[in-house]
Amino acid sequence: MRITDLLRFARERGEPIFSFEFFPPKTDDGVRGLFETVEALRPLGPAYVSVTYGAGGSTRAKTIELVKRLKRDAEVEAMAHVTCVGASRDEIAAVLDEVAEAGIQNVLALRGDPPRGQGGFVPHPDGFTHASELVAFIRSQPERWRFCVGAAAYPEGHPETRDLAQDLRHLKLKVDAGSDFLVTQLFFENAHYFRFVERARAGGVEVPVVPGIMPFTNVEQVERFTAMCGAAIPPPLRAAMEVRRADPESARELGVAYATLQCADLLRRGAPGIHFYTLNRSPSTRAIVAALRACEPWRG
């Protein structure tokens, strides 16, 4: 089912959607663990799951295979990430054909991160420089590809530019090219999300904006991710994290508690759902979604 339809049906019922993002494991044991995680999350009724590309498109084949298996074997709606990195137009077209033939109806169109060690993004000579170009390419052949297309949004600005006005112009290009919905980069302060949605609406962006949330499990992990994506850690949260730096279990509990409060506030104030960056682990996400379903803050 198309994600826009899932969002519409949920809105008609007065409920949010929950979705989970995974990355391709490097080993067979990791793949088995991923499917165990998906199975553990199934009772929570995920609207869909997605699988990322590695930096530089390094896991392209594994990503597509996992998305196909999730759709076929796990029987959950799946969204494939497709990036511009290191791929020509023909190679991207082949990926899109393979995904379409497997019955996948949803893709997340991204520029993608450069390979590790490469200073900045370098487009393929016969590829694309921006995600908006990839979206336009997908839309250029509507009889061949009938995907529901998502795109990324950056409430605190893209990590390569902190110019919020310029970032909004780039976002508008992606939406005008044919993006159906947006998923945000992770953030830890909800004001960033709501200010971003306000700016987007004022700028003519009307598609749904789903907030992306990462329940952190240890301090070093969250510091590493925020350094890469440019998300700010609010001072009270940073102080709470610091006293738990040497206590992984306490840090995980803080991550669950903070994300639960964050999600409850987002849903209470009208966010259409939550996209969880699971890091291929289920306990934290399971606890958060179970708590949200128990208290239903969106009805408050």
Rounded CA-CA distance 208/30 in Å is 33
Q: Residue 174: which of 200, 211, 145 has the closest Cα?
A: 200
21 is catalytic: yes
Name the catalytic one among 15, 21, 91, 249.
21
Is residue 257 within 8 Å of residue 271, measured between CB atoms?
A: no
pTM here is: 0.94
How do residues 264-280 score in pLDDT, each as one tens digit? 999 999 999 999 999 88
Which domains, from first to last, does the chain contain?
A: 3-294 (3.20.20.220)
How do residues 118-155 score in pLDDT, each as one tens digit? 666 777 888 898 999 999 999 999 999 999 999 999 99
Rounded CA-CA distance 283/291 in Å is 12
130, amino acid identity: H
How do residues 232-291 score in pLDDT, each as one tens digit? 999 999 999 999 999 999 999 999 999 999 999 999 999 999 999 998 888 999 999 999
Q: Alpha carbon of 212 to those of 57, 90, 263: distances in Å? A: 21, 31, 10
Rounded CA-CA distance 39/62 in Å is 20
Q: Please tell me the total number of residues recorded for the chain in this structure.
A: 300
